[in-house]
Structure 1
Amino acid sequence: MKALLLTALLYGLIPVLKAQKADKMKNNEQDSLAIATALENNYFNAIYEGDTDRLGSILYPGTLLFGDVKGQPYAKSRDEYLTGVKNRQSPKDSGKPFHGDITSIDIVNSIAVARVKVKMYDFHYNEILSFHKIDGRWYIVNKMMSDISE
């Protein structure tokens, strides 16, 4: 009798567990798509065009940027970074090649990490971008980058 009850209980739980897993997968797919869209529209395109308003819209206030460029340490606040983007010639206006590529996106609840590659000017950046979902929207809250030779 106990085996029959246990079997019935397990068969009753399996559809519930599958539904929960399917919901999580659906949410992860939606969140992954939202992050990828934000990267394409508000990150890569904004960097390419030098559009600091659009770029600032994906960078959460207080975002910090760290890394190295040509072997030199790099550390900036969000505002310092946006000022630099504003005061430089955009990759679009320079006529030099630009390409942004999403390597991976990993999501855990309301946090995520995206690995991207950005080729601009004479740089090949590997970037690790930390995201946080705030009020239903994904923001970059930290950027780490390294210029690599290819």
Structure 2
Amino acid sequence: MSALDETDRALLRALSRDARQTAGALGRKLGLSQPATWRRIKRLEEAGILKGRRLRLDPQALGFGVTVFLGVKLAAKGRVSVEDFERAVTAIPEVQVVQHVLGAYDYRLRVVARDISDFERVLRRRIMTLPGAGEVEANVLLSEERRPGPLG
């Protein structure tokens, strides 16, 4: 794909604010026809720049009042495969995000729970029993602001 032009960038900014907009509505905002807007969206999808449109749920509205970021260090890298750990951790419904990272920990997890007691249950019964789980560090989310991305 050739470089993004200013219209592509404006289209991506508009979609990042509200991905539910129709091609017609987007086109009117950008001074394009509906078919021209749709072609640009398809081109951005085919190039791998636009990777779908996701629904964002509000965990608190669904009864999950606590979000915790966990740093997990594998206990014995030689004895347990990374694939076994990843397979097991992704099966835990409270774990929303699993990131394999470099640094002090091997993995970073985003975990939601109803409250601190529920998080303790998830930690003790599910996360600490994972194959290879070793040292764990927890950081409780106090607040979160959504920041505009690089196209801002």
TM-score range relative to shorter protein: under 0.3
Higher fraction of strand: 1
Higher fraction of helix: 1
TM-score by length of 2: 0.22
